[in-house]
Amino acid sequence: MSPYNYLWECTGIADGGYKSTKAILQAGYHPTAIVACNDMMAMGVMRAIHEQGLLIPGDISVIGFDDIAISKLMTPPLSTISVVKSGISHAAFSMVMDMIDGKPGNEVAIKAEFMERESIGIASAI
């Protein structure tokens, strides 16, 4: 498998993002971007990148998911996907109720917005 197709699984907290990214970089892989499952995990990703002496976004772009308040305060500010959390919980509740009632599952679209900040760019060759 090409190192550019890896999906790394880890805990959804900052420490999980940190440990996975550290392992990726120490194994000699040099991704141009890392997309984390949430903003806390992205914080750990960013810490591991900085510890390796690499630049965000110059060497590696980082994107999170959540748009938690601290995302704007990180260095650099984290690009992230913003979703209305109440929309997710409402859709999940409706789906569970439909399943209980024996109704077929429905696809649900959740409104999301890409919050482009300073953690993404064109990466240089490492």
CATH number of the domain where residue 34 is located: 3.40.50.2300
Q: 61-66 and 33-35: which strand pairing?
A: parallel
Q: Is residue 15 part of a domain?
A: yes
- Say if 104 falls within a structural domain: no
Instruction: Report the relative pairing of strands 79-83 and 33-35 from DSSP bridges.
Output: unpaired
pLDDT above 90: residue 52:
yes
Would residue 25 count as lying in a domain?
Answer: yes
Can you give the pTM of this predicted structure? 0.80
**Per-residue pLDDT for 4 more than 80?**
no
Question: What spatial distance separates the first Cα and last Cα of the chain, rounded to whole Å?
Answer: 20
**What's the mean pLDDT when you consider all of the chain?**
87
3-state secondary structure of 46: helix
Number of structural domains the chain divides into: 1
Give residue 6's pLDDT band: very low, low, confident or very high (50, 70, 90).
low
